[in-house]
Every structure is written in C-alpha cells, then in structure tokens.
C-alpha cells in the first residue's frame, strides 16, 4: 500500500536511531516496562516518531500494567492501519501508522479493561513522541 510518507530504507536508517528503526521499520518490540511513556500521565498528543502524524491523545491512555503504553482508541480511526499478524504462532492485529506505515504495536480486544471500547492499543514508547499540552 502506498503511504503519504514514502522513504527508502537508507533514508529511514539515516533519520532513525538503530532502536527506533528496529521497532518502527522492522516491526520489533521494545522490552516491557522500559519505555519512556509506559507510566507517563502527562496531558498531550502522541505522534508517530517517524513522521509526526497524530496517533493518540493522553485522554485515551490508561494503566493496563502490561509494560507498554496502552490506549483505548486512536485520535482518529484513519490515523492507524490495522493488519492481521500471524507471526509468533498466534493471530494478532498489528497497528501501523497510516501515514508512513511504521509499526506501532498491536491492538487487543475483550480483555475486560473498563474502557469505552474494550480495546487495548499496546504501543511501543519508542514508536511515539509526546507533545505535552501547554
């Protein structure tokens, strides 16, 4: 699928740190409980670290105690792309940035969290950049 932001692997490698590249462009996962936004309660907007597209807002962030930032809804449903992921011996739903195709994490449903959508967008901190509200 063509994305609004298209870059070569070389360009992505120049712009992203090795850790950012591994997660955003190679669908890696950062270790649990180490990301800078896991426990953040700052009010603001979370954007894609690769292209700055607005993805999530702090008012949909909740404590899931899973080790990664969790949101119950994207800022706009068109901001993310959901893709079936059959890696790791299970069927999951991968979440990508709809603007640049970068890997963000996965979304899970029916886990019993008391959220309006019953969804948990489990997102790598390294895929995000928080702009605090002033």
List pLDDT tens digits, range 12-54: 999 999 999 999 999 999 999 999 999 999 999 999 999 999 9
**Strand ranges for the chain from DSSP E:** 44-48, 54-57, 61-62, 70-71, 80-85, 92-97, 103-109, 119-123, 128-132
* 51 classed as catalytic: no
The total number of structural domains that make up the chain: 1
- Give the pTM: 0.93
In a domain, 3, yes or no: no
At residue 91, does pLDDT exceed 90?
A: no
Task: Provide the residue range defining the domain that includes 90.
Answer: 9-132
In a domain, 76, yes or no: yes
What's the CATH code of the domain at 93?
Answer: 2.170.150.20
At residue 103, does pLDDT exceed 80?
A: yes
In a domain, 112, yes or no: yes
Predicted confidence at residue 2, as pLDDT, reads: 84
Predicted confidence at residue 1, as pLDDT, reads: 62
Select which of 48, 97, 100, 122 is catalytic. 122
Predicted confidence at residue 85, as pLDDT, reads: 86
At residue 134, does pLDDT exceed 70?
A: yes
In a domain, 4, yes or no: no
């Amino acid at each position: 699928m063509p994305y609004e932001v298209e870059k070569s692997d070389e360009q992505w490698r120049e712009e992203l740190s090795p850790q950012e590249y591994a997660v955003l462009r190679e669908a890696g996962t950062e270790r649990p409980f180490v990301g800078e936004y896991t426990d953040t309660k700052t009010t603001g907007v979370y954007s894609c670290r690769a292209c700055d597209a607005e993805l999530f807002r702090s008012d949909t962030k909740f404590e899931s105690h899973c080790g990664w930032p969790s949101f119950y809804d994207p800022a706009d449903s068109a901001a993310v792309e959901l893709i079936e992921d059959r890696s790791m011996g299970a069927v999951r739903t991968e979440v990508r940035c709809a603007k640049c195709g970068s890997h963000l994490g996965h979304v899970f449903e029916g886990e019993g969290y008391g959220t309006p959508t019953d969804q948990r967008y489990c997102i790598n901190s390294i895929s995000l950049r928080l702009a605090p509200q002033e």
